[in-house]
Chain A
Amino acid sequence: MNERSAKLRILRCDAWLLLALFWMTLLLSAALLAQWLPLPDPANDTDYTQLSIPPSLTHWLGTDDVGRDLLSRIIWGARISLTVGLSATLIGLFVGGVLGLSSGYFRGYYEEAVLWLIDVILSLPPLVAAMTISAVLGPSLTNVTLAIAFIKIPAFARVTRAATLGYANREFVLAAHSLGASHRDVLLRELLPNVFLAVGTYGLTSVAIAIATEGGLAFLGLSVPPPAASWGALIAQGRPVLAEAPHVALVPALVMFVTVLALNVIGDASRKRLDTRGAAL
């Protein structure tokens, strides 16, 4: 490849990244500022004269089948989807991280036990596990978050353990040991800062997966109970009227798809940028 096309390639990648960042900024600020935006009430502002109307000047994204403004419902839904995505990832990251870091450091029977636990959780397909937990606990914001966090544990534990194994025998850890550092110090001061980067870049991708999973649960009616509605619930609501008013399902579907895509693009870009393994050599 010559230099010019290499430059073009970088520009093109950055264009995607910029678009993704722009979309996420827009979405995040809309979600954060939802109560101050001039939006109709997403749950109760039903207008029976304007059922399932396509996008127009008064309703930018149209209305749903009971006459509620779709833009408002999507922005309020974004709050739920993003909250679940972020908090499930953080909880999964924390629990999985603790398991992975400690098992990669202490080894022995403890490591075997952790690996067994991971295998056991993985013996259930993720969505099946999340569905079961969410169904048994009962649908609510906390419960759906916990259900998704639970299925995130294995991946984070594995990534953290792999990264820890790579650092645990390095000289700086040996040096810390010989200086009399406690296990706690080695884990928190020597290993954690190194491991965190490897695991953190996986976080954004994980938020994307979590949002998609929440969407799936909501689609099945196993997420936040109505009248609150995340994107998955909006799509499920539009499914029966797909023939007469396709925008009711397709608009939230598109918003969710673009968000997952944007998070993946940002995640991949940050992984490439932060991956120092190749750059150091």
Chain B
Amino acid sequence: MNSSIRHMLRLVPVLFGSTVLTFVLINLLPGDPVVSILGDQASPAQIEDLRSQMGMDRSVLLRYFDWLMSALHGDLSRSLMTREPVTEVVVQRLPVSLQLMLMAQAIALIVGLPLGVVAAWRRDSALDRVINIGAYGLLSAPAFILAIILIYVVSVRFGLLPATGYTSIGTDPLANMRSMALPSLVLAATPMAIYARLVRSDMIATLQEDFILLAKAQGHSAGYILFRQALRPSLLPMITVFGVNTGVLLGGAVIIEYLFALPGLGSLMVDATLNRDYPLLQGVVLCIAVAFCLVNLLVDLAYLLLDPRIRHE
């Protein structure tokens, strides 16, 4: 129990730091947001006007403090372009990104785990080599390259799935799945390869253990031994990787959503960046940072809960 509280307490300074970092990145770097919003032709009076409207004429510390206080109350100010409250836009966009990431994680686990198990079981066989090379290739392929190749093969060549467009799950679940299939597949590629490699190396060690020999002697089937007995000890380290992968997914989702025109947080962030909509960008980046920290906290807590060695310490 103590250690879980310690984990949560550690999160506070990190979260504080990441609000500072977000704020510093967007407000203190050279490059005046006001000028870039209005363009080069703006008169000094116009610039002054917008500056005071945005509260940019006050000191940095004050601005940070104000922003932090209203952020704590759930108010992330308004988007410069649409004048909508940032919090509302983020809440609107969140489900799409969540669905994308959940589907990607699910695909990665469903495909990656068995591949890793099979590779460990048939170690050094041709199959193992193919899986290994495949995983290595997937890890070397940036998400947008995979996306282009998949769009070309699946959508352009065979016309199986749509390359862009989004239907919400409420309107038409089937169309929704079709529009999410390619993006989540692309996003799943890296975590899938990571899971497969991790399970393989972990299980090769497990398969040398005595209890596996015993299970074989007892005449259990290969499937039973592999998935019910040998896989179990490997699942625990997977939780940590799950957390790390979430970061990969959050970053990858930005490009994938933009590429497939999905209305999620990632494409919102790209829009905010390209339009230089600083309050929006700041809000989205903060939400992503908080979400990422929370996932890592949950991973740590799950680890504490599940690993008896740490639990009983």
By a beta-carbon cutoff of 8 Å, the part of chain A in contact with chain B is: 1, 5, 116-117, 119-129, 131-133, 135-138, 208, 212, 215-216, 219-222, 232, 235, 238-239, 242-243, 246, 249-250, 253, 256-257, 260-261, 264
Minimal beta-carbon separation of B128 from chain A (angstroms): 12
Question: Are B18's CB and A123's CB within 8 A?
Answer: yes
Chain A interface, DSSP helix/strand/loop, else mixed: helix
Of A123, A133, A137, A239, most buried by chain B (CB within 10 Å of CB) is: A123
Which of the residues B251, B252, B258, B289 comes within 8 Å of A123, measured between beta carbons?
B289
- Which residues of the other chain, A, contact B262 by a CB distance below 8 angstroms? none
- Which residues of the other chain, A, contact B13 by a CB distance below 8 angstroms? 116
Smallest Cβ-Cβ distance to A209: which chain B residue: B142
Report how far A136 CA is from B149 CA in the complex, Å.
Answer: 31
B276 CB–A CB distance under 8 Å: yes
Minimal beta-carbon separation of B147 from chain A (angstroms): 9
B31 CB–A CB distance under 8 Å: yes
Of B14, B141, B148, most buried by chain A (CB within 10 Å of CB) is: B148
Report how far A212 CA is from B285 CA in the complex, Å.
Answer: 21
Question: Are B292's CB and A216's CB within 8 A?
Answer: no
By a beta-carbon cutoff of 8 Å, the part of chain B in contact with chain A is: 13-15, 17-18, 20-22, 25-26, 29-31, 33, 36, 124, 136-137, 139-145, 148-149, 151-152, 156, 247-248, 250-252, 254-255, 258-259, 269-270, 273-274, 276, 281, 285, 288-289, 292-293
Report how far A133 CA is from B273 CA in the complex, Å.
Answer: 10
Q: A222-B273, A235-B144 are in contact. Are A128 and B285 (CB under 8 A)?
A: yes
Which of the residues A1, A120, A238, A249 comes within 8 Å of B21, measured between beta carbons?
A120
12 contacting pairs across A/B (C-beta < 8 A): A119-B17, A120-B18, A120-B21, A125-B247, A127-B254, A132-B25, A136-B29, A212-B142, A235-B145, A235-B148, A242-B152, A253-B148
Q: A120-B14, A128-B254, A135-B281 known; 19 other A-B pairs, CB under 8 Å?
A: A119-B17, A120-B18, A120-B21, A123-B17, A128-B285, A128-B288, A131-B269, A131-B273, A136-B25, A216-B143, A221-B274, A232-B144, A238-B148, A242-B152, A246-B156, A249-B148, A256-B145, A257-B142, A260-B141
- Which residues of the other chain, A, contact B152 by a CB distance below 8 angstroms? 242, 246, 249-250
Question: Are B149's CB and A253's CB within 8 A?
Answer: yes
Report how far A235 CA is from B145 CA in the complex, Å.
Answer: 8
- Which residues of the other chain, A, contact B250 by a CB distance below 8 angstroms? 125, 128
Smallest Cβ-Cβ distance to A218: which chain B residue: B144
Question: Are A250's CB and B254's CB within 8 A?
Answer: no
- Which residues of the other chain, B, contact A243 by a CB distance below 8 angstroms? 156
- Which residues of the other chain, A, contact B17 by a CB distance below 8 angstroms? 116-117, 119-120, 123
Report how far A208 CA is from B136 CA in the complex, Å.
Answer: 13
- Which residues of the other chain, A, contact B36 by a CB distance below 8 angstroms? 138
Report how far A129 CA is from B17 CA in the complex, Å.
Answer: 14
Report how far A132 CA is from B277 CA in the complex, Å.
Answer: 11
Question: Are B288's CB and A250's CB within 8 A?
Answer: no
Minimal beta-carbon separation of A135 from chain B (angstroms): 4
Smallest Cβ-Cβ distance to B266: which chain A residue: A128
Question: Are A123's CB and B254's CB within 8 A?
Answer: no
Smallest Cβ-Cβ distance to B124: which chain A residue: A1
- Which residues of the other chain, A, contact B136 by a CB distance below 8 angstroms? 261, 264
Minimal beta-carbon separation of B240 from chain A (angstroms): 14
Report how far A15 CA is from B188 CA in the complex, Å.
Answer: 30
Question: Are A123's CB and B145's CB within 8 A?
Answer: no
Question: Are A220's CB and B258's CB within 8 A?
Answer: yes
Question: Are B251's CB and A125's CB within 8 A?
Answer: yes
Q: A221-B274, A260-B142 are in contact. Are A123 and B293 (CB under 8 A)?
A: yes
- Which residues of the other chain, A, contact B145 by a CB distance below 8 angstroms? 215, 235, 253, 256-257
Report how far A261 CA is from B139 CA in the complex, Å.
Answer: 9
Smallest Cβ-Cβ distance to A119: which chain B residue: B14
Q: A132-B25, A137-B31, A260-B141 are in contact. Are A124 and B252 (CB under 8 A)?
A: no
Report how far A121 CA is from B18 CA in the complex, Å.
Answer: 7
Question: Are A220's CB and B18's CB within 8 A?
Answer: no
Question: Are B21's CB and A124's CB within 8 A?
Answer: yes
Q: A137-B29, A235-B144 are in contact. Are A132 and B293 (CB under 8 A)?
A: no
The 8 closest A-B pairs by CB, nearest first: A120-B17, A127-B251, A125-B251, A123-B18, A212-B142, A135-B273, A261-B140, A125-B250
Report how far A138 CA is from B22 CA in the complex, Å.
Answer: 17
Minimal beta-carbon separation of B279 from chain A (angstroms): 13
- Which residues of the other chain, B, contact A216 by a CB distance below 8 angstroms? 142-144, 255
Report how far A216 CA is from B140 CA in the complex, Å.
Answer: 13
Report how far A5 CA is from B31 CA in the complex, Å.
Answer: 60
Report how far A123 CA is from B21 CA in the complex, Å.
Answer: 10
- Which residues of the other chain, B, contact A235 by a CB distance below 8 angstroms? 144-145, 148
Of B22, B144, B152, most buried by chain A (CB within 10 Å of CB) is: B144
- Which residues of the other chain, A, contact B31 by a CB distance below 8 angstroms? 136-138
Report how far A131 CA is from B25 CA in the complex, Å.
Answer: 11
